[in-house]
Amino acid sequence: MKGRTIILDHIDTVEAAACLVDGKLDDILIDHDDSPRTGAIFRAICDRPIKGQGGMMLRLPDGESAFLRQGKGLRPGQPLLVQVTGYSEAGKAVPVTDRVLFKSRYAIVTPGKPGLNISRQITDEETRDALLAIAHEVFNSPHGLILRSSCDGADEGEIAEDILAMLALADAVLADAEGAAPEALTEGDGPHTLAWREWAGTADVVTDAGAFEQHGVCDQLAQLGGALVPLGDGTMYVEPTRALVAVDVNTGNDTSPAAALKANLAAARALPRALRLRGLAGQITVDFVSMSKAHRKQVEQSLRASFRADPIETSLVGWTPMGLFELQRKRERAPFPHALLKDI
C-alpha cells in the first residue's frame, strides 16, 4: 500500500482514526471519556487562587476542577470562558487557557485578537491574494481570523463555509460566557473530526466498518502493548512511569565501530512516532548508547529535524551531566488505552 491513507473506524464501540503512510501506522487518534477533550470550551467559575504560582483553580461541570496558569486579576466566583489545552492525568486538574480559539480545517477564529492572517507556509502571492479576497467577502467581525496552510489548493466555497461556521460558533459561545454556574459550551472534536481537521493533504479516506482489520491497523496497534520499538539499526524501549517517560537505546547484536551512532540516529528518527502512537508526553529522558561528544551534535540535529515535523509541541531541553537527553512534551492526548487491546 503506497501513499497516505486515512481510516475512520471504531475499536469495539470507541471512535478512532488512523493515518497510514505506505501501509505503516503513522498516527492514531482514539476517543476517551475519562477527561474533557482537548479543545472543549467551558464557562468555568473561578474558585481559589494558587499562591506562589500565580494561577487560579476553576470549577467545571460535574464537580471537575481546572487549572488556569495565569490568574492575575481574577476573583473567586467570577465566570470565565476557558478552553481545554491538554489531557489531565487521574487526580489532576484539567489544564485550560482563557485564550479561546475556534479552529477548523481551514479557519481559526480568534476572539479578542483582531486581524487577518494567512499561514506563512502559503508563499504564492496570487494564492494569498485570493484567500484575502475570500476572507474580506465573508468575514465581517471584530474577532481575528487565521487562514491555515490547508487552504492552499482547497475549494474556495469550502473555505468560505468554514470561515462562516467558525464565526457563527464563536458568536454563539461568547453569547453564553456569562452565568452563575459552570457549563460545557462545546465538547471538543472527536477523532473523526480531528482527522478531517488536522490531517490535511492528499490521502485516500476509508470509512468502511471493519477497515482497521482489513488494512492491518489492528495488528500494528497490538504492538503498542509492549515497550520495544524495533529500529533496524538497534532497538529502543519506551516505558512510561509516574514521573517521566524513560527511553533506552541499544545497539543489539551490532558490534561495529559505528554501531552506537547508527542506533542513536535511528532512535532519534523513530522517537516522535513512538511517543505519538503511545500518547506519551511530559518529561522524557533518553538514554542513548554511549558516544563521543562530537557525535552528540549529530544526534541532537537529527532529533530537532524529527520533532520539527511532529504535530505535538516538544521542547528539546538538552544533555544532562550524566549523558542523558531530556525533552518536555505537551500533554495534548490521552495515553494509548491498553485496555482496548483485548478488543483488537
pLDDT for 19 beyond 80: yes
Dihedral pair phi/psi, residue 101, rounded to 5°:
-120, 150
Alpha-carbon torsion angle 60, 66, 70, 73, nearest 10: 40
Write down the pLDDT at residue 180: 87
How many Å is the Cα radius of gyration of the chain?
22
Q: Which amino acid is at 82?
A: V
> pLDDT category, 229, cuts 50, 70, 90?
very high
Are 182 and 42 in contact by the 8 Å Cβ rule? The answer is yes
Grid look-up 479557519 returns 107
Domains and CATH numbers, the chain: 1-31+190-224 (no CATH), 41-97 (2.40.50.140), 102-189 (3.30.230), 226-340 (3.40.630)
pLDDT for 46 beyond 80: yes
Neighbours of 342 (CB within 10 A): 8
Q: Nearest to residue 274, comparing CAs of 250, 307, 305?
A: 307
Residues 278-334 pLDDT 10s: 999 999 999 999 998 889 999 999 999 999 989 999 999 999 999 999 999 999 888
Q: Which residue has the higher pLDDT, 6 or 223?
A: 6
Write down the pLDDT at residue 163: 97
Q: What is the mean pLDDT of residues 273-278?
A: 96
Average pLDDT over the chain, rounded to an integer: 93
Question: What is the bridge-based pairing of β-strands 204-206 and 4-11?
Answer: parallel
Residues 54-70 pLDDT 10s: 799 999 998 899 999 88
Write down the pLDDT at residue 344: 63
pLDDT for 343 beyond 70: no
Write down the pLDDT at residue 322: 93
Q: What is the mean pLDDT of residues 188-212?
A: 93
CA 239 to chain centre: 20
CA 188 to chain centre: 13
Write down the pLDDT at residue 191: 96
5 to 23, 120, 206, 306: CA distances (angstroms): 8, 26, 7, 21
Are 96 and 66 in contact by the 8 Å Cβ rule? The answer is yes
Q: What is the mean pLDDT of residues 78-86?
A: 95
pLDDT for 113 beyond 80: yes
Residues 6+ apart with CB under 8 A from 175: none
Q: Which residue has the higher pLDDT, 154 or 338?
A: 154
Q: What is the mean pLDDT of residues 264-285?
A: 96
pLDDT for 53 beyond 80: no
The whole-angstrom separation of Cα 10 and Cα 212 is 8
pLDDT for 236 beyond 70: yes
